[in-house]
Amino acid sequence: MYHSLSRWVARLARLTAYAGGLSLLAVIALTCVSILGRALDGVGFGPIPGDIELVEFGIGFAVFSAMPYAQFARAHARVDLFKPLMGHRLNRLLELIGDLFLLGFATLVAWRLWLGMIDKGAYHETSFILQIPVVWGYRAAMATCVVAVIVALYSVLRSTHALLFPTSQPTSAEATHEPL
């Protein structure tokens, strides 16, 4: 059961990262077309109206989409200065503590994002130029943040499992960061 859960969480984190990557590619294309339109302004073209608003939505989604996969792959930045000097068990304990902190952080962000989403929806706030409801961006970020909480919960389970059963070998995706 543990390994099937691991595969399911890995797929969920990877799918979320792919969605964020597509969002980032769309933002890049939008920015290039808008810059090209500005350059060809004298010929009758122009920038894409509201391009900055669309970039804000897209980048926000891309950032939140990267969090679950980074957590699953243990790809967050960390300093491993003393890791070689400590024993295997102490390193596993520190990983569990770190995963608990990240679970707390992801939960806090999800909670505050939820409250912000409720607020933006209640007041029907829209973007300035395109009049896009701001709550849409919050909903997209909230979906990826829920995935981040699920992955963080799994990471705590994974670290607890590694601490309690040190002889069990992690799968290759759990042991090291693998490319998508």
Q: What is the pLDDT of residues 109-141, one digit of tens each?
A: 999 999 999 999 999 999 999 999 999 999 999
Say if 124 falls within a structural domain.
Answer: yes
Q: Is residue 18 part of a domain?
A: yes
Per the domain annotation, does 54 fall within a domain? Answer: yes
Query: In this predicted model, which residue has the larger pLDDT, 137 or 83?
Result: 137
> Is residue 180 in a domain?
no
Does residue 71 lie in a domain region?
yes
CA terminus-to-terminus distance, the chain: 23
Specify which residues 126 forms β-bridges with: 133
Contacts of 3 (CB under 8 A, 6+ apart): 171
Q: Is 14 exposed, middle or buried (0-12, 13-18, 19+ CB in 10 A)?
A: middle
For the entire predicted model, the pTM comes to: 0.86
Q: Name the average pLDDT for the chain.
A: 91
Q: Which domain holds residue 118?
A: 2-175
- The rounded distance, in Å, linking the Cα atoms of 20 and 60 is 9
> Mind listing the pLDDT tens digit for each residue in 13-59?
999 999 999 999 999 999 999 999 999 988 889 999 999 999 999 99
pLDDT at 172: 44
Give pLDDT, residue 177.
Answer: 52
Domain count, the chain: 1
Note the helical H segments in the chain.
2-39, 51-72, 88-123, 134-164, 172-175
Quick check: is 37 in a domain? yes
Say if 89 falls within a structural domain.
Answer: yes
